[in-house]
């Protein structure tokens, strides 16, 4: 009977419990599996809008134990940890409500704010389930980028060694030591040292050689190169790897796009992950350091006209041109391996997750029949994170907190 008392071994627990992985794994899975439908739904442009826009995002999840062997689902940090989004000059995000108490707030190894919620029970028996809802208030601020041009761009030698050490390493999914990727990076780069020119070359090569294809698991860059296909974060990770190889700092950023006409429901992972999306689509893009301007978003899959002008991938990136929310940075965590481990965990144990994400602008009219309701616990928490996303501090609106 010992084997039936837990759906996860201690070794498996350790392999998938890093603070970043538990906070971001579900969102990264959504960006890998759900983005394929984004082009079918119109977005709302935010470019040039002088005023702030306010949104409410609700995430409702049900964890259900359908184990054929009658295993018990011992809830780990993966199920208990939630992400709190990025706070910077482009947006402010509050944890508005949680249907269970928030126990602890901290910053993960990639600089992302996360929190742990307290479930009323520590395990889900066969035939049982647990449902919880998290609600966020999101304020999007006007955003823009500096005017960029090849003639004004700095060179590789102008990037300091500290940035290169942190953001050019063979960490996470970025296989900078793989021979085929290194050969490709140096072949495309040639003798060029202008950072923006190099970035344009990488963008053009990926757009000319990698087609868009969505799967329910993210790929490593070697797999994207082998298959000549990949979705938003797959293509972004290939770009990040090429940049890191030649000494251009880069990392992955993920977030969600407001899609007011979207309503979809699909099954992934052989039916063990059910996802409903209302007015929202998850997305991933690269963030690249280009002197003298600093960190710049590069969006390979949500931008038209990149082949005619590769700088459109920067100027027209979803995070700039549309109502897009930054969720988290991935700077060193191997979320590809974590995604595959968690998929295997659910399938092998017969556990299932049902998730519904809904994003509404606060002053818009709700669709007829909408059942969204805020849970009866009201915490209002603002996470203030430094511009480098390394140091996190917590501020709590005492006047808006009700005793849980």
Alpha-carbon span 173 to 328, nearest angstrom = 16
What pLDDT does 12 receive? 38
Task: Scan for tokens 């837990």, then name that residue.
Answer: 6
The pLDDT tens digits of the residues spanning 322-380 come to 999 999 999 999 999 999 999 999 999 999 999 999 999 997 665 565 555 544 443 44
What pLDDT does 51 receive? 83
The encoded tokens of residue 257 equal 């796009």
In sequence order, the 6+-apart residues with CB closer than 8 A to the CB of 89 are 141, 387
What pLDDT does 36 receive? 41
What pLDDT does 27 receive? 54
To the nearest 10 degrees (0 to 180), the angle between helices 232-246 and 179-189 is: 70
β-bridge mates for residue 324, sequence order: 257
For residue 287, give Cα distances in angstroms to 19, 76, 127. Answer: 22, 31, 44
The DSSP 8-state label assigned to residue 365 in this structure reads: P
End-to-end CA distance of the chain: 37
Alpha-carbon span 186 to 166, nearest angstrom = 21
What pLDDT does 385 receive? 33
Please name each of the domains of the chain with its CATH number. Answer: 2-142+336-400 (no CATH), 150-254+284-324 (3.10.620.30)
What pLDDT does 49 receive? 47
Alpha-carbon span 139 to 362, nearest angstrom = 10
DSSP-based helix, strand, coil % in the chain, nearest 5: 30, 35, 35
Positions of the chain with pLDDT lower than 70, given as ranges: 1-50, 364-404
């Amino acid at each position: 009977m010992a084997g039936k008392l837990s759906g996860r071994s201690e070794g498996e627990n350790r392999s998938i419990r890093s603070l970043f992985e538990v906070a971001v794994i579900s969102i990264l899975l959504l960006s890998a599996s759900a983005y394929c439908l984004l082009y079918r739904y119109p977005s709302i442009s935010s470019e040039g809008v002088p005023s702030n826009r306010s949104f409410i995002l609700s995430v409702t999840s049900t964890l259900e134990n359908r184990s054929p062997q009658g295993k018990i689902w011992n809830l780990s940090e993966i199920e208990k940890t939630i992400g709190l989004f990025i706070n910077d000059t482009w947006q402010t995000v509050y944890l508005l409500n949680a249907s269970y108490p928030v126990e602890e707030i901290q910053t993960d190894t990639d600089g992302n704010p996360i929190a742990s919620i307290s479930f009323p029970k520590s395990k889900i028996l066969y035939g049982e389930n647990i449902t919880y809802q998290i609600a966020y208030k999101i304020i999007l601020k006007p955003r823009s980028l500096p005017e960029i041009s090849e003639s004004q761009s700095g060179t590789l030698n102008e990037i300091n060694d500290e940035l290169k050490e942190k953001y050019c390493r063979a960490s996470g999914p970025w296989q900078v030591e793989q021979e085929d990727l290194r050969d490709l990076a140096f072949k495309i780069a040639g003798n060029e040292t202008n950072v923006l020119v190099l970035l344009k070359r990488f963008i053009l090569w990926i757009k000319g050689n990698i087609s868009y294809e969505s799967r329910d698991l993210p790929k490593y860059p070697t797999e994207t190169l082998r298959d000549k296909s990949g979705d938003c974060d797959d293509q972004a990770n290939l770009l990040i790897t090429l940049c890191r190889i030649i000494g251009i700092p880069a990392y992955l950023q993920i977030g969600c796009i407001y899609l007011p006409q979207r309503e979809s429901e699909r099954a992934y992972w052989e039916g063990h992950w059910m996802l409903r999306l209302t007015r929202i689509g998850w997305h991933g893009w690269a963030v690249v350091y280009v002197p003298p301007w600093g960190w710049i978003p590069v969006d390979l899959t949500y931008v038209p006209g990149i082949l005619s002008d590769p700088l459109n991938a920067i100027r027209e990136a979803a995070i700039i041109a549309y109502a897009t929310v930054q969720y988290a940075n991935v700077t060193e965590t191997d979320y590809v391996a974590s995604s595959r481990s968690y998929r295997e965990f659910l399938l092998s144990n017969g556990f299932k997750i049902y998730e519904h994400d809904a994003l509404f602008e606060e002053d818009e009219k709700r669709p007829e029949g909408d059942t969204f309701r805020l849970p009866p616990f009201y915490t209002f928490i603002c996470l203030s994170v430094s511009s480098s996303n390394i140091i996190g501090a917590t501020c709590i609106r005492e006047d808006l907190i009700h005793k849980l």
